[in-house]
């Protein structure tokens, strides 16, 4: 099977869906003439033209609102935020319009729109460009929230998101756009709301998503050297969450560690820990532990970034703690 970059997998998903459905279009800052800030949309202006590839001013509230209106009228917009930190400028359109219009209109209007772009830390970009809002959007009924960790999942989930009749928040990572992975030539879609066991194990369950899957899988490799076999689950979507896959794993391993880049207060890891103890309490041999970012704004300094974000060392320490080693 061929290997392509994360950005190429996203581009293929967008292009295939635009060829399949003339109602799909892309709108955002620098998506057309500049070929995308992260080159996800490279070459798409040449194929689809300015009628379907729209460059916008730096005005997220404006073009997100245009997208919501277009979706309510039968089109399928894909709105690119240069970073989800900037989605806060448009959060009223996302939360109070896109997410709620189906309910508020008693089903008369749907809003098939995708908001996509990078989330979380991408290195030394400072606190205002390094936030994680997956848990914010996952807290909103009416939205679906997808956070892929590899090119194969990214393509299949983005295609499914574009075809979905509900608004979808599709969150990527700047530091993953160049990652390579196996992606088949033919068309495929992946279901939203289904997690995947990326590594089998029997001693502890590690749950993660997005770029933190790299931390989880590397930690599992290191733990194997100490004869601790970790089962690693990639959520892939954080609204809805596939609790069935998680609970089935925890009933087998009897221990769980959750790795998430967001700050700990009201995090997805908090909700996961609650639901695991609610549904699998009698199977747990240790408390569920979370590995989150430290509860501070992310610094610019590299050494502080390393100390703040979840990493392999902290994940291994948490696993050994629940394994009483």
**Residues marked as catalytic:** 60, 129
Specify the 3-state DSSP secondary structure of 136. Answer: helix
Residue 15 contacts residue 42 (beta carbons within 8 Å) = no
Q: Where are the alpha helices (DSSP H) in the chain?
A: 6-20, 44-48, 60-72, 91-92, 101-104, 134-138, 151-163, 212-224, 243-253, 268-280, 302-308, 312-322
Beta bridge partners of 118: 172
Task: Report the Cα 117 to chain-centroid distance in Å.
Answer: 9
Q: In the structure encoding, which two tokens stand for residue 167, read together? A: 């608004």
**Are β-strands 53-55 and 76-80 bridged in parallel, bridged antiparallel, or unpaired?**
unpaired
Cβ count within 10 A of residue 24: 22
Task: Give me the residue label for tokens 């596939």.
Answer: 242
Q: Which letter does DSSP use for residue 70 in this model? A: H
């Amino acid at each position: 099977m061929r290997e392509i970059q994360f950005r190429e997998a996203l581009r293929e998903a967008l292009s295939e869906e635009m060829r399949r459905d003339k109602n799909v279009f892309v709108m955002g800052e620098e998506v057309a003439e500049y070929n995308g800030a992260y080159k996800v949309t490279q070459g798409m202006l040449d194929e689809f033209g300015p009628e379907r590839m729209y460059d916008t001013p730096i005005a997220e509230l404006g073009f997100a609102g245009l997208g919501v209106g277009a979706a309510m009228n039968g089109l399928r917009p894909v709105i690119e935020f240069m970073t989800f930190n900037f989605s806060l400028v448009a959060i009223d359109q996302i939360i109070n319009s896109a997410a709620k219009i189906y309910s508020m209109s008693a089903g008369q209007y749907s809003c098939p729109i995708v908001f996509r772009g990078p989330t979380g830390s991408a290195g030394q970009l400072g606190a205002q460009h390094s936030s994680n809002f997956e848990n914010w959007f996952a807290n909103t009924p009416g939205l679906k929230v997808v956070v892929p960790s590899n090119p194969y999942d990214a393509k299949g989930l983005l295609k499914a998101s574009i075809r979905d009749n509900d608004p979808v928040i599709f969150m990527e990572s700047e530091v993953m756009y160049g990652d390579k992975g196996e992606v088949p030539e033919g068309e495929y879609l992946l279901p939203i709301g289904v997690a995947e066991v990326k590594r089998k194990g029997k001693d502890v369950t590690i749950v993660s998503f997005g770029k933190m899957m790299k931390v989880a899988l590397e930690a599992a490799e290191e733990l194997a050297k100490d004869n601790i076999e970790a089962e690693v689950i990639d959520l892939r979507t954080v609204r809805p969450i596939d609790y069935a896959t998680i609970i089935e794993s925890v009933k087998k391993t009897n221990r769980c560690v959750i790795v998430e880049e967001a700050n700990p207060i009201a995090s997805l890891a908090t909700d996961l820990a609650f639901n695991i103890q609610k549904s699998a309490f009698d199977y747990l041999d240790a408390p569920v532990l979370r590995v989150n970012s430290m509860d501070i704004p992310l610094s610019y300094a590299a050494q502080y970034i390393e100390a703040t974000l979840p990493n392999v060392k902290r994940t291994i320490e948490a696993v050994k703690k629940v394994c009483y080693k």
